[in-house]
Structure 1
Amino acid sequence: MTTHALAGALADDGRRRIFAAIVLGATSATQVAERTDLPARVVLTGVRRLADAGLVTDVGGALAADEASLRAAARDSRPADDTDPAADPVLRTFLRGDVLVGLPAQPKRRRVLLTHIAQRSFEPGTRYPERAVDEALKTWCAAGGSDHATLRRYLVDERLLTREHGIYQRA
């Protein structure tokens, strides 16, 4: 089960209610319908979708939460944190793997983070058009911690990237 499948399965209020009823002890579609006040057709469709996502199993005719699948999803979907645990706490705070989860307000912390991003994204001496810079920075912004234009502006303001006629280069 992927995080995406889990989120999709639980994105609907009815399926969340169905899943909650099963977790709280309902073992049949009839019991789920009684506890959730949902029509039987909605319950059956919801149970099928939850089973397809790996959240619910039918063991000997009894519905149950698939605890093994949930544990595996929790274990496997942890964000990769490829920063060294002994590395700067700023990176551990504001990055999850190579995804930015926020920008520090303090200039010194922001400089540490921006230096890391510049070093990981751009080769020294290589000239990059603005479109290539934007594409490189968009991957850092996938979690919504910032937007690529703000990140690009900060990199130029901190003189980690130089800009001349729409061409960028790592300083």
Structure 2
Amino acid sequence: MEAGTIVGLLADPARLKVVAALALDARTIEEVADATGLSLKDVALAARRLARAGLVHRDGHALALHAERFGEAARSAAAVAPPPERMSDDPAEDAVLRTFLRDGRLVSIPAQHGKRRVVLEHLVHVFEPGVRYPEREVNALLAAWHPDVAALRRYLVDEGLLTRYAGVYWRSGGYVDV
């Protein structure tokens, strides 16, 4: 079964509740109805659809979830997924960036200096060389990455990647693509 099919099946609230109840050890249509607050008819209809798709085994009123199908679908989807785009040509830097960046956001600020420097050199590219930024704009740009803009701002200045004078910032470090 494909991951997309499973997601489609679980997009229906009744089917999702039935799967959740079965995952939490409900074993009959009646137990699922009690656990979910759904009517017996709604549970039976959802269970029938899930059984046709192969996610649930139905034997009269007894139900069993084929939980292993979720893992199989996830492994299958991962096997055909394109490799993630590299964030750096350097494999070590790429590994650090993959650890701390998810979906264009910084999940945490690295405590270790070397890793933090890699992340900061990546973040500084949101600032154009030669452009002066008021602190409010610096905060807005950094907020897109992480909520602790004060820490990021301070680290960027401390590392010499940004310079600050009279509340105005400009990029003063990091490499520039030409």
Q: What residue ranges of structure 1 are gaps of 5+ in the alignment?
A: 49-55
Which has the higher Rg, Structure 1 or Structure 2? 2
Q: How does 1:12-161 map to 2 (within 5 A)?
A: 18-21=18-21, 31-35=28-32, 37-38=34-35, 39-41=37-39, 44=42, 58=49, 65=55, 81-84=85-88, 86=91, 88=93, 89-118=95-124, 120-141=125-146, 147-161=148-162
Percent identity over the alignment is 40
Amino acid at match of 1:138: A
TM-score by length of 1: 0.58
CA RMSD of aligned residues (A): 4.7
TM-score by length of 2: 0.56
Q: Distance in 1 between matches of 2:106 and 2:119?
A: 9
How many residues are aligned here? 147
Q: Distance in 1 between matches of 2:145 and 2:136?
A: 15
Q: Distance in 2 between matches of 1:155 and 1:42?
A: 60
Q: Distance in 2 between matches of 1:168 and 1:42?
A: 64
Q: What residue ranges of structure 2 are gaps of 5+ in the alignment?
A: 57-68, 173-178
Question: How far apart are residue 23 of structure 1 and its match?
Answer: 6.2
Question: How far apart are residue 37 of structure 1 and its match?
Answer: 2.1
